[in-house]
Structure 1
Amino acid sequence: MKLSKTNPNTIDLIKSLTKQSSAEDAPIWKAVANELKRANRKNNEVNVYHIDKYSDDDDTVLVPTKVLGEGNITKKVTVAAFKFSQEAEKKIVAAGGKCLKIDELMAENPKGSNVKIIK
């Protein structure tokens, strides 16, 4: 698939995800890279209430797009995402959770074990 993104940070992240996927034999990073390659108009943002609905306490959740602050979150989860709205970040931290960028999660968990993708 040809990269049609213009943001150099996005391109670098896609390349490092693909490289990590091969190096660690971790298909999760390849799946996230493919999500990031999609056209922006096809990307759906995820609200915090979706994360709350589909996760449990102490889960690690990966959102390949942007997390928005609609709704409430009651579970203590680690959320890695491409971007966070300020409201979403406040709500996740207030619930006892943690917000990470995708590359930070990749550094902490090279194999991508026990990570749920929500899109």
Structure 2
Amino acid sequence: MSVKVEKKTDSYLKDTIQKLLERSRESGSVFWRDIAIRLSSSRKNYATVNLGKLQRIASDDDIIVIPGYLLSSGVFNKKIKVSAFKISEKALKKLNDAGSEFVNLVDLASENPKGTNIKIIR
């Protein structure tokens, strides 16, 4: 499957996809390529996850990647590390209040180039 970066108009999205593909090539891991492919698809196919879903699915100290948007609906009180393409302000506040950490996708790819022990939530 090819990654169609040139069709995207959002420069932040294009940059994120290209950097994830670079990390994938450098590390030989398909994990970040998969995330880049998901982000290069149509926006209607992006994951839209609420904090309530993370509360049900995630355990403390998990690392979660959301190839799409993280929204604030629901109660959240776990200590996890979350990475998503975009996050709402309320969701970020709830994460910080719970003691969780939000990390940019590219930064997480730099921290964990192989993508080990990371869960993808859709």
Structure 1 segments of 4 or more deviating over 4 A? none
* Residue 16 of structure 1, aligned match among 16, 19, 25: 19
Aligned length: 119
Root-mean-square deviation over aligned CA pairs: 1.2
CA distance in 1, matches of 2:103, 2:23: 17
1:51 aligns with 2:54: yes
- The residue identity in structure 1 corresponding to 2:65 is L
TM-score computed with the length of structure 1 as normaliser: 0.93
- Structure 2 residues not aligned, in runs of 5+: none
Query: 18-27 or 53-62, which moves further after superposition?
Result: 18-27
Residue 11 of structure 1: CA displacement? 1.1
TM superposition score normalised by structure 2: 0.91
Q: Please tell me whether residue 81 in structure 1 is matched to residue 92 in structure 2.
A: no
Matched with 1:97 is 100
Segments of structure 1 that go 5 or more residues without pairing to the other structure are none
Taking the aligned partners of 1:83 and 1:114, their CA distance within structure 2 comes to: 21
Identical amino acids, percent of aligned pairs: 34
Secondary structure of 1:45's counterpart equals strand
Taking the TM superposition and a 5 Å limit, the aligned residue runs for 1:35-74 are 35-74=38-77
Structure 2 CA distance for aligned equivalents of residues 7 and 75 of structure 1: 32
